Amino acid sequence: LPAELRRREPRFYRRASAPPSPALLASAGVGQHRVIELGPEELEEIKPLLVDLHLDEQLFYPEHPQLTRPQLEASLPAVKNEFVGENLVLAVRDPQGRLAGFCWLVLFDPGTGLEGEVAEVYVAEPDRGGGVGEALLERAVQVFVERGVTLAYVWTRAENQGATHLYEKVGFGPNSQLVLTWYPSAGQAGRGG
Protein backbone atom coordinates (compact mmCIF):
# COMPACT_ATOMS: atom_id res chain seq x y z
CA LEU A 1 0.00 0.00 0.00
CA PRO A 2 1.12 3.58 -0.51
CA ALA A 3 2.34 5.39 2.62
CA GLU A 4 -0.90 7.35 2.93
CA LEU A 5 -2.87 4.09 3.24
CA ARG A 6 -0.55 2.30 5.65
CA ARG A 7 -2.20 0.63 8.58
CA ARG A 8 -1.45 2.75 11.63
CA GLU A 9 -2.93 0.78 14.50
CA PRO A 10 -5.44 -2.06 14.62
CA ARG A 11 -8.78 -1.47 16.25
CA PHE A 12 -10.01 -3.99 18.76
CA TYR A 13 -13.61 -4.35 19.77
CA ARG A 14 -15.87 -6.28 22.07
CA ARG A 15 -19.61 -6.77 21.85
CA ALA A 16 -21.33 -5.78 25.06
CA SER A 17 -23.39 -8.98 25.06
CA ALA A 18 -20.28 -11.01 25.94
CA PRO A 19 -20.37 -11.94 29.63
CA PRO A 20 -17.77 -10.68 32.10
CA SER A 21 -15.15 -13.25 33.04
CA PRO A 22 -15.77 -15.61 35.97
CA ALA A 23 -12.57 -14.30 37.57
CA LEU A 24 -13.96 -10.78 37.80
CA LEU A 25 -17.36 -11.93 38.99
CA ALA A 26 -15.69 -13.89 41.79
CA SER A 27 -13.50 -10.99 42.90
CA ALA A 28 -13.58 -7.20 42.71
CA GLY A 29 -9.89 -7.16 41.92
CA VAL A 30 -6.63 -9.09 41.94
CA GLY A 31 -5.17 -10.26 45.24
CA GLN A 32 -5.17 -7.33 47.63
CA HIS A 33 -5.71 -4.88 44.78
CA ARG A 34 -9.26 -3.65 44.23
CA VAL A 35 -10.69 -1.92 41.17
CA ILE A 36 -12.53 1.27 42.09
CA GLU A 37 -14.14 4.15 40.23
CA LEU A 38 -12.43 7.42 41.06
CA GLY A 39 -14.64 10.30 42.07
CA PRO A 40 -14.12 13.83 40.74
CA GLU A 41 -12.12 14.82 43.82
CA GLU A 42 -9.66 11.94 43.25
CA LEU A 43 -8.92 12.41 39.54
CA GLU A 44 -5.83 14.59 40.01
CA GLU A 45 -4.20 11.56 41.64
CA ILE A 46 -3.74 9.89 38.26
CA LYS A 47 -1.77 12.82 36.83
CA PRO A 48 1.65 11.26 37.68
CA LEU A 49 0.57 8.05 35.94
CA LEU A 50 -0.65 10.05 32.92
CA VAL A 51 2.78 11.68 32.70
CA ASP A 52 4.44 8.24 32.89
CA LEU A 53 2.09 7.00 30.16
CA HIS A 54 2.99 9.91 27.86
CA LEU A 55 6.72 9.42 28.50
CA ASP A 56 6.39 5.72 27.61
CA GLU A 57 4.38 6.50 24.46
CA GLN A 58 6.98 8.99 23.22
CA LEU A 59 9.37 6.07 22.72
CA PHE A 60 7.08 4.71 20.00
CA TYR A 61 6.36 8.02 18.28
CA PRO A 62 9.70 9.75 17.62
CA GLU A 63 8.06 12.02 15.03
CA HIS A 64 5.97 13.63 17.79
CA PRO A 65 7.43 16.36 20.01
CA GLN A 66 9.56 14.74 22.71
CA LEU A 67 8.68 16.42 25.99
CA THR A 68 10.44 16.12 29.33
CA ARG A 69 8.65 15.14 32.53
CA PRO A 70 8.41 18.79 33.69
CA GLN A 71 7.08 19.86 30.28
CA LEU A 72 4.44 17.12 30.37
CA GLU A 73 3.46 17.95 33.93
CA ALA A 74 2.98 21.59 32.95
CA SER A 75 1.12 20.80 29.73
CA LEU A 76 -1.44 18.32 31.05
CA PRO A 77 -4.78 20.00 31.66
CA ALA A 78 -6.53 19.46 34.94
CA VAL A 79 -7.55 15.83 34.83
CA LYS A 80 -11.05 16.55 36.12
CA ASN A 81 -11.67 18.65 32.98
CA GLU A 82 -10.91 15.63 30.81
CA PHE A 83 -13.35 13.25 32.48
CA VAL A 84 -16.86 14.64 32.22
CA GLY A 85 -20.27 13.29 31.29
CA GLU A 86 -20.26 9.59 30.57
CA ASN A 87 -16.50 9.31 30.91
CA LEU A 88 -15.09 7.64 33.98
CA VAL A 89 -11.80 6.50 35.44
CA LEU A 90 -11.25 3.10 37.00
CA ALA A 91 -8.20 2.61 39.19
CA VAL A 92 -6.43 0.02 41.28
CA ARG A 93 -5.04 0.97 44.67
CA ASP A 94 -2.63 -1.19 46.60
CA PRO A 95 -3.28 -1.87 50.31
CA GLN A 96 -1.36 1.31 51.20
CA GLY A 97 -3.64 3.40 48.98
CA ARG A 98 -1.09 4.04 46.20
CA LEU A 99 -2.46 4.02 42.65
CA ALA A 100 -1.06 1.03 40.78
CA GLY A 101 -2.89 1.71 37.51
CA PHE A 102 -5.87 3.30 35.85
CA CYS A 103 -8.25 2.81 32.95
CA TRP A 104 -10.01 5.80 31.35
CA LEU A 105 -13.33 4.91 29.72
CA VAL A 106 -15.28 7.06 27.29
CA LEU A 107 -18.96 6.34 26.61
CA PHE A 108 -20.78 8.04 23.74
CA ASP A 109 -23.69 7.56 21.36
CA PRO A 110 -22.92 8.31 17.70
CA GLY A 111 -26.61 7.82 16.87
CA THR A 112 -26.44 4.04 16.55
CA GLY A 113 -26.39 3.09 20.23
CA LEU A 114 -24.08 3.62 23.16
CA GLU A 115 -20.43 2.82 22.41
CA GLY A 116 -17.49 2.57 24.76
CA GLU A 117 -13.79 3.15 24.34
CA VAL A 118 -10.90 2.21 26.56
CA ALA A 119 -9.16 5.53 25.92
CA GLU A 120 -6.14 4.88 28.14
CA VAL A 121 -4.97 2.04 30.32
CA TYR A 122 -1.74 2.27 32.27
CA VAL A 123 -0.10 0.22 35.01
CA ALA A 124 2.80 1.61 37.05
CA GLU A 125 6.11 -0.10 36.27
CA PRO A 126 6.47 -1.95 39.62
CA ASP A 127 2.94 -3.35 39.32
CA ARG A 128 3.19 -4.76 35.80
CA GLY A 129 2.73 -8.48 35.33
CA GLY A 130 0.67 -8.86 38.50
CA GLY A 131 -2.81 -8.80 37.00
CA VAL A 132 -3.56 -5.11 37.55
CA GLY A 133 -4.14 -4.40 33.84
CA GLU A 134 -6.35 -7.45 33.46
CA ALA A 135 -8.42 -6.48 36.51
CA LEU A 136 -8.89 -2.96 35.13
CA LEU A 137 -9.96 -4.22 31.71
CA GLU A 138 -12.29 -6.85 33.16
CA ARG A 139 -14.00 -4.14 35.22
CA ALA A 140 -14.14 -1.90 32.13
CA VAL A 141 -15.99 -4.64 30.25
CA GLN A 142 -18.34 -5.08 33.20
CA VAL A 143 -19.06 -1.31 33.17
CA PHE A 144 -19.79 -1.50 29.43
CA VAL A 145 -22.27 -4.33 30.03
CA GLU A 146 -23.91 -2.52 32.98
CA ARG A 147 -24.31 0.67 30.92
CA GLY A 148 -25.78 -1.11 27.89
CA VAL A 149 -22.88 -0.43 25.53
CA THR A 150 -23.47 -2.07 22.13
CA LEU A 151 -19.85 -1.90 20.93
CA ALA A 152 -16.60 -1.20 22.77
CA TYR A 153 -13.11 -0.79 21.45
CA VAL A 154 -9.51 -0.10 22.34
CA TRP A 155 -6.57 1.01 20.19
CA THR A 156 -3.01 -0.26 20.41
CA ARG A 157 0.14 -0.28 18.33
CA ALA A 158 0.40 -3.31 16.06
CA GLU A 159 3.79 -4.23 17.56
CA ASN A 160 2.50 -4.10 21.15
CA GLN A 161 1.95 -7.84 21.44
CA GLY A 162 1.66 -7.80 25.25
CA ALA A 163 -1.25 -5.36 25.14
CA THR A 164 -2.84 -7.20 22.22
CA HIS A 165 -2.69 -10.48 24.14
CA LEU A 166 -4.22 -8.85 27.23
CA TYR A 167 -7.05 -7.24 25.23
CA GLU A 168 -7.82 -10.55 23.55
CA LYS A 169 -7.73 -12.33 26.92
CA VAL A 170 -10.60 -10.17 28.22
CA GLY A 171 -12.66 -10.57 25.04
CA PHE A 172 -11.57 -7.92 22.53
CA GLY A 173 -10.81 -9.05 19.00
CA PRO A 174 -9.21 -7.54 15.90
CA ASN A 175 -11.14 -5.33 13.53
CA SER A 176 -10.17 -4.73 9.92
CA GLN A 177 -10.70 -0.97 10.10
CA LEU A 178 -7.95 1.04 8.44
CA VAL A 179 -6.73 4.11 10.32
CA LEU A 180 -5.22 6.89 8.20
CA THR A 181 -2.99 9.57 9.66
CA TRP A 182 -1.93 13.07 8.68
CA TYR A 183 0.60 15.21 10.51
CA PRO A 184 0.33 18.95 9.78
CA SER A 185 3.98 19.60 10.60
CA ALA A 186 5.11 17.02 8.05
CA GLY A 187 2.45 17.97 5.51
CA GLN A 188 2.17 14.36 4.44
CA ALA A 189 -0.16 11.48 5.16
CA GLY A 190 1.01 8.52 7.16
CA ARG A 191 4.27 10.05 8.40
CA GLY A 192 5.79 8.19 11.28
CA GLY A 193 2.89 5.82 11.81
**CATH number (domain holding residue 112):** 3.40.630.30
Whole domain around residue 54: which residue ranges?
A: 19-172
- Domain contains 56: yes
- Domain contains 188: no
- Domain contains 33: yes
- Domain contains 151: yes
Confidence of residue 121 (pLDDT cuts 50, 70, 90): very high
CA distance 85 to 105: 11
154 near 25, Cβ under 8 Å? no
Q: Give SS3 for 7.
A: coil
pLDDT at 143: 93
Confidence of residue 45 (pLDDT cuts 50, 70, 90): confident
- Domain contains 13: no
Say which amino acid occupies 48.
P
- Interval 125-168: pLDDT, tens: 988 888 999 999 999 999 999 999 999 989 888 888 888 999 99
- Domain contains 136: yes
- Domain contains 182: no
In a 10 Å sphere around its CB, with 0-12 CB exposed, 13-18 middle and 19+ buried, how is residue 154 labelled?
buried
- Domain contains 156: yes
CB count in 10 Å sphere of residue 120: 20
Least confident interval from 34-38, 54-58, 174-178, 185-189:
185-189
Please state the domain count of the chain: 1
Q: Give SS3 for 62.
A: coil
